[in-house]
Amino acid sequence: MAPTRRLVLTSLALLPVIAALPARAETPRIFQKDGLALGGTDPVSYFRDGAPAKGRAEHSLDWNGATWRFASAENKAVFAADPDRYAPQFGGYCAYRAASGYAAPTVADAWTIVDGRLYLNYSRGVRGKWEKDIPGNISKAETNWPGIIE
């Protein structure tokens, strides 16, 4: 069925409107809250203190497209020397949701360190689901991750 003249003219009239629409916002490679990686939580603190610590503005570092904060100059230096070791997996997004193929925000107190890697979750409740099959969830998330953030 050939398009009608009215349909063609209406479509052409809408082109400038469609072109003016904002592009779909991309999900940042690193989870950010309030403009800061991990919402300003110091990723090194999980390893060194066994708990999350709030980073301080005077101990900031830009890495991988995000501003990271650290609780101390020492933690900042440790991260700067080996960021891949201390940065959370899956860009700091929820590891359980990454296993399902989605990016979701995280909270500082829903975390796990497995084989020297930091994994964060959306909530403590979600972390409980994550912990039921950590190896399987890691495997799924690693498979899904490249296609989640583009």
Looking at the fold, whether 78 and 100 belong to one and the same domain comes out as no
**Long-range CB contact pairs, 73-80, < 8 A, 24+:** 75/42, 75/44, 75/45, 75/48, 76/44, 78/44, 78/48, 79/43, 79/44
Looking at the fold, whether 115 and 140 belong to one and the same domain comes out as yes
Residue 113, CA atoms < 13 Å, CB-side half-sphere: 14
pLDDT score of 116: 97
Looking at the fold, whether 80 and 92 belong to one and the same domain comes out as no
Looking at the fold, whether 100 and 144 belong to one and the same domain comes out as yes
Looking at the fold, whether 93 and 79 belong to one and the same domain comes out as no
Distance CA 102, CA 144 (A): 8
pLDDT score of 88: 98
**C-alpha closest to that of 76 among 30, 37, 27, 35:** 37
Looking at the fold, whether 79 and 130 belong to one and the same domain comes out as no
pLDDT score of 149: 82
| pLDDT < 70 regions, the chain | 1-27, 150
Two tokens, residue 100 = 């399902």
Looking at the fold, whether 92 and 69 belong to one and the same domain comes out as no
Contact present, 112 and 127 (Cβ < 8 Å): yes
Amino acid, single-letter form, for residue 107: V
Distance CA 138, CA 89 (A): 10
Query: Count of domains in the chain?
Result: 2
pLDDT score of 6: 59
Looking at the fold, whether 96 and 138 belong to one and the same domain comes out as yes
Instruction: Please state whether beta strands 32-33 and 36-37 pair in parallel, antiparallel, or not at all (unpaired).
Output: antiparallel
- Which of 67, 84, 101 is at the close of a domain? 84
Would you say residue 94 lies in a domain?
yes
Looking at the fold, whether 122 and 79 belong to one and the same domain comes out as no
Looking at the fold, whether 56 and 40 belong to one and the same domain comes out as yes
pLDDT score of 28: 82
Range of the domain at 78: 29-84
Kindly state the helix (H) or strand (E) to which residue 146 belongs, with its residue range. helix 134-148
Two tokens, residue 37 = 């990686």
pLDDT score of 1: 53
Distance CA 39, CA 129 (A): 23
pLDDT score of 26: 61
Distance CA 11, CA 9 (A): 5
Looking at the fold, whether 71 and 95 belong to one and the same domain comes out as no
